[in-house]
C-alpha cells in the first residue's frame, strides 16, 4: 500500500543524510589532567579515533588508528601521557580496556579475555597508577572487582562477588566500602563496612518501588557521610546526605516534580558543587558558592543547555558543551581564573548550512488523567495542519527524552513530517509514581499513552489521521510492533529497530550479567513462567494476523539485549502470512548501529519506506 496523495511541499533545503547521520567532524573533547592538552574523537578514514592537540597550538594529530568500529568512549590517565578507552567486538558489549601512549602511539590491551565484560569502577587523581575494574571473568553472571596497576598492567582480584551484588561502592582511597545487593522482591539493600576487613552492615533497604531511583554517589572527604540518591521519603529522587554512625539523613537538593539528574563533585573536598534537574529543559542548582560566578560566566558563552565534560586537576580549565534544539552541539574551553571561554568546535559544522527547526515542549493529559510531557518538532516552511506524523518512541523504557538536538527529529522534520516524542508512563525522570505506573503495562497503558499523544496531535489539527507512523528502537521498537499489531488501523506503517517481539523469549534470553536485575524485570514486565500467558498477550508475535500495515524491521546480529531471534521470529511469521514487510540485518552490529555505513543504509531505507507510505521527501 503506497501513498496516493500529494507529497508535502517542503521548500527548505534537503539536508543530506550524510550530514545528519555520518560521523561527526569532532566530538567529546576532554582536557588532560595537567591542563595542557585536549583530546577528542574525530574520523580517520571515516572511522572514529582519538586525536590530541596541545592547547594554544595547531598540532592536532590522531593517536589511534582503529580501522573497524571506531572508538566512542575514552578518558585520560592521570599522568597526561596516555589515554584509556574501551571497545567491544561487533556490538556484543563485551567491553575490553585499552590504552595508547601519546609519545609512541603504541596501543596496549589490559583485558584480553574472550566473552568477558569489563566495567570501570573507579579511579581518581590521588592514585594515578591505580584503577578498579569490574569483570565477569570468573562467573559470567556477576562482576568481581579487580585492581589494575597501570604501569605494569597487572590485574589482581580485590573482591569476589558472592552472587547478589549489583553495584560496588568505593571510598576516596579506592577501598571497597559499600555494596548494593539485589533482593528477591526486586529491591536493593545497601551495605557498608568500616574497612575492607570489617563485617558488612546493612544500612538501607530500598524497596522495589524506590530501587530504580536510588543509589550512592560516594563518601564525603572524611568518610563520615554518604551522598545518596534517594526517593524513600518523597515521590522524586533527591540528593541526600547520611551520617554513617547515626543514620541521620538530610536533604541537600530536590524538586517536587523531577528526579535528580547530574551531580558535580569537587575532586579534592568531595563536596557536591551543583546538581541538575531535567525539566522541560535542563535546570542547574548551584550548591557551592565558589563556582556560582563560573556558572554564570559559562551560561553566557552560548545558547542552549550546558553540560560539563571535564576539568583539569587544578580546576582551572573546564570543557563545557551546549546542546540546543536547532543546532549541532558546540564545545568551549572555559578558563575559571579569568572567567572567560574559548570556542573549540561544533560537532557537525555542515549542519549550520541548513535550516534546522525548534523542538517545542508539550504537555497533555492521558485518558486516565495522568499528565504526560514530550516534544513536538514541526517541519519548516509548512503550515502545521494535517501533516504526516511520526510517533518516535524512546527506548528503555526506563529512560526519557530530553530537550536538545535530536538528529532523528531534525531528519524527519526536514523530510516533511511532524515528529512527536512523548514520555509515556514508565519513563524515568518524573518521580517514582510515574515510573511505577508503567509496571506490567507494556502493550497496554504505556501504549495507550502513545495513542493518546497521537490523538492529541490529530485533535489539534496538526496531524493527518490518515498519515500516521510509529517508529522506535529497543523498547521503542517493541512499541512499533505493538502499534502494528494491537492498533493496526491507527497507523499507516511501522518501523521497529532491535525491538522485542515475544516478551517471554526476550526475558529468557537476556545476557547472563542481567541476573541480578531479573527480579526487577519480573515485576515491571512479567515472569516468563509464572506470567507466560500474560506476557504472550502483550507480545506482538502472537498477534501477527492483525497486521494490516507495512512494517520495516532492523536488527543487529550481535545484540546481547534483544537477540536476533526477536526480529527473526516475527519476520518469519509475517512472511508466512504474506504481510508486507522489509527486514534489514546488520551482521556487524549490536543494540544499535555504530558503523557509519550501516547507519546510512538503515536511514536511507527507512526514509524511502516512510516516503512510500506517508508521502514525505526522500534523498535519492
Banded model confidence at residue 11, pLDDT cuts 50, 70, 90:
confident
The CATH homologous superfamily to which domain 24-163 belongs is TolB, C-terminal domain (2.120.10.30)
236 CB-side CA count, 13 A: 17
Are the CB atoms for 424 and 24 separated by under 8 Å? Answer: no
CA-to-CA distance for 167 and 178, rounded, in angstroms?
9
Read off the pLDDT of residues 101-118 as tens digits, 9 standing for 90 and up: 999 999 999 999 999 999
Banded model confidence at residue 12, pLDDT cuts 50, 70, 90:
confident
Quick one: pLDDT at residue 310?
97
The CATH homologous superfamily to which domain 355-614 belongs is Alpha/Beta hydrolase fold, catalytic domain (3.40.50.1820)
Read off the pLDDT of residues 498-516 as tens digits, 9 standing for 90 and up: 999 999 999 999 999 999 9
Quick one: pLDDT at residue 302?
97
Read off the pLDDT of residues 432-443 as tens digits, 9 standing for 90 and up: 999 999 999 999
Q: Domain map of the chain by residue range?
A: 24-163, 288-354, 355-614
Cell of 86: 574501551
CA-to-CA distance for 33 and 22, rounded, in angstroms?
31
Given a cut of 80, is residue 2 above it in pLDDT? no
- 3-class SS at 121? strand
With a CB cutoff of 8 Å and minimum separation 6, the contacts of 152 are none
Quick one: pLDDT at residue 437?
98
Contacts 24+ apart (CB under 8 A), 368-372: 368/445, 370/425, 370/434, 370/437, 370/449, 372/422, 372/423, 372/424, 372/425, 372/449, 372/452, 372/453
CA-to-CA distance for 585 and 572, rounded, in angstroms?
13
* Percent of the chain with pLDDT strictly greater than 70: 98
Mean pLDDT of all residues in 584-596:
97
Strand stretches in 489-561, DSSP E: 493-497, 551-556
CA-to-CA distance for 334 and 315, rounded, in angstroms?
10
Mean pLDDT of all residues in 135-142:
98
As annotated, the active-site residues are: 474, 559, 591
- Going across the sheet that includes 47-54, the strands are 27-31, 37-44, 47-54, 61-62
Given a cut of 50, is residue 48 above it in pLDDT? yes
Given a cut of 60, is residue 5 above it in pLDDT? no
Q: Provide the b/e sequence for 368-397 (b: ≥16 CB within 10 Å).
A: eebebbbbbbbbbebeeebbbbbbbbbbbb
- 3-class SS at 604? helix
Mean pLDDT of all residues in 250-259:
98
Quick one: pLDDT at residue 10?
58
Given a cut of 70, is residue 49 above it in pLDDT? yes
Quick one: pLDDT at residue 1?
47
Please give the torsion angle defined by the CA atoms of residues 440, 445, 447 and 452, in that order, rounded to the nearest 10 degrees: -170
CA-to-CA distance for 17 and 381, rounded, in angstroms?
20
Mean pLDDT of all residues in 20-38:
97
The verdict on pTM exceeding 0.85 is: yes
Given a cut of 60, is residue 7 above it in pLDDT? no
Read off the pLDDT of residues 301-339 as tens digits, 9 standing for 90 and up: 999 999 999 999 999 999 999 999 999 999 999 999 999
Q: Can you give 267-335 as a three-state secondary structure string?
A: CCCCCEEEEEEECCCEEEEECCHHHHHHHHHHHCCCCCEEEEEEECCCCCEEEEEEEECCEEEEEEEEE
Amino acid at each position: 500500500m503506497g501513498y496516493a496523495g500529494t507529497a508535502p511541499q517542503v521548500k527548505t533545503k534537503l539536508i543530506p543524510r550524510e550530514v545528519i547521520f555520518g560521523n561527526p567532524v569532532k566530538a567529546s573533547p576532554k582536557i588532560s589532567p595537567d591542563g595542557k592538552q585536549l583530546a577528542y574523537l574525530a574520523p580517520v578514514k571515516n572511522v572514529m579515533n582519538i586525536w590530541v592537540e596541545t592547547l594554544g597550538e595547531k598540532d592536532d594529530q590522531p593517536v589511534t588508528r582503529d580501522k573497524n568500529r571506531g572508538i566512542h568512549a575514552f578518558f585520560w590517565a592521570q599522568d597526561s601521557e596516555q589515554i584509556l578507552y574501551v571497545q567491544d567486538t561487533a556490538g556484543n558489549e563485551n567491553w575490553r580496556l585499552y590504552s595508547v601512549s601519546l609519545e609512541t602511539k603504541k596501543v596496549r590491551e589490559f583485558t584480553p579475555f574472550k566473552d568477558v565484560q569489563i566495567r570501570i569502577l573507579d579511579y581518581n587523581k590521588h592514585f594515578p597508577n591505580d584503577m578498579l575494574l569490574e569483570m565477569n571473568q570468573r562467573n559470567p553472571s556477576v562482576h568481581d572487582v579487580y585492581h589494575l596497576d597501570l604501569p605494569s598492567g597487572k590485574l589482581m582480584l580485590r573482591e569476589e562477588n558472592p552472587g547478589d551484588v549489583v553495584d560496588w561502592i568505593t571510598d576516596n582511597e579506592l577501598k571497597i566500602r559499600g555494596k548494593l545487593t539485589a533482593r528477591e522482591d526486586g529491591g536493593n539493600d545497601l551495605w557498608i563496612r568500616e574497612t575492607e576487613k570489617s563485617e558488612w552492615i546493612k544500612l538501607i533497604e530500598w524497596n522495589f518501588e524506590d530501587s530504580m531511583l536510588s543509589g550512592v554517589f560516594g563518601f564525603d572527604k572524611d568518610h563520615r557521610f554518604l551522598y545518596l540518591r534517594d526517593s524513600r521519603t518523597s515521590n522524586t529522587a533527591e540528593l541526600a546526605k547520611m551520617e554513617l554512625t547515626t543514620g541521620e539523613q538530610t536533604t541537600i537538593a530536590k524538586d517536587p516534580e523531577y528526579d535528580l539528574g547530574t551531580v558535580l563533585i569537587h575532586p579534592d573536598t568531595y563536596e557536591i558543587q551543583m546538581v541538575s534537574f531535567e525539566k522541560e529543559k535542563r535546570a542547574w542548582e548551584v550548591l557551592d558558592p565558589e563556582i556560582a560566578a563560573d556558572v554564570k560566566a559559562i551560561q553566557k558563552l552560548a545558547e542552549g543547555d550546558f553540560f560539563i565534560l571535564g576539568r583539569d586537576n587544578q580546576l582551572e580549565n573546564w570543557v563545557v558543551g551546549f546542546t540546543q534544539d536547532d543546532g549541532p552541539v558546540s564545545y568551549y574551553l572555559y578558563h575559571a581564573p579569568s572567567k572567560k571561554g574559548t570556542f573549540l568546535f561544533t560537532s557537525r559544522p555542515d549542519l549550520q548550512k541548513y535550516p534546522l527547526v525548534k523542538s517545542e515542549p508539550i504537555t497533555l493529559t492521558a485518558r486516565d488523567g495522568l499528565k504526560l510531557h514530550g516534544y513536538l518538532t514541526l517541519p519548516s516552511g509548512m503550515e502545521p495542519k494535517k501533516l504526516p506524523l511520526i510517533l518516535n518512541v524512546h527506548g528503555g523504557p526506563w529512560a526519557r527524552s530530553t530537550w536538545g538536538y535530536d538528529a532523528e527529529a531534525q531528519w524527519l522534520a526536514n523530510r516533511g513530517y511532524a515528529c512527536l516524542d512523548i514520555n509515556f508512563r514508565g519513563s524515568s525522570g518524573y518521580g517514582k509514581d510515574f515510573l511505577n505506573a508503567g509496571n506490567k503495562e507494556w502493550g497496554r497503558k504505556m501504549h495507550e499513552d502513545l495513542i493518546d499523544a497521537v490523538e492529541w496531535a490529530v485533535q489539534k489539527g496538526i496531524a493527518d489521521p490518515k498519515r500516521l507512523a510509529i517508529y522506535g528502537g529497543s523498547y521503542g521498537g517493541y512499541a512499533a510492533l505493538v502499534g502494528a499489531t494491537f492498533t493496526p488501523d491507527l497507523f499507516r506503517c511501522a518501523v521497529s529497530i532491535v525491538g522485542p517481539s515475544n516478551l517471554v523469549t526476550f526475558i529468557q534470553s537476556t545476557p547472563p550479567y542481567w541476573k541480578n536485575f531479573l527480579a526487577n524485570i519480573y515485576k515491571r514486565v512479567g515472569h516468563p513462567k509464572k506470567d507466560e500467558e500474560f506476557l504472550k498477550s502483550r507480545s506482538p508475535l502472537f498477534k501477527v494476523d492483525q497486521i494490516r500495515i507495512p512494517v520495516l524491521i532492523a536488527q543487529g546480529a550481535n545484540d546481547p539485549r534483544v537477540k536476533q531471534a526477536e526480529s527473526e521470529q516475527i519476520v518469519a511469521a509475517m512472511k508466512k502470512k504474506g504481510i508486507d514487510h522489509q527486514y534489514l540485518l546488520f551482521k556487524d552490529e549490536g543494540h544499535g548501529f555504530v558503523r557509519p555505513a550501516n547507519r546510512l543504509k538503515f536511514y536511507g531505507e527507512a526514509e524511502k519506506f516512510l516516503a512510500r507510505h506517508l508521502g514525505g521527501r526522500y534523498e535519492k
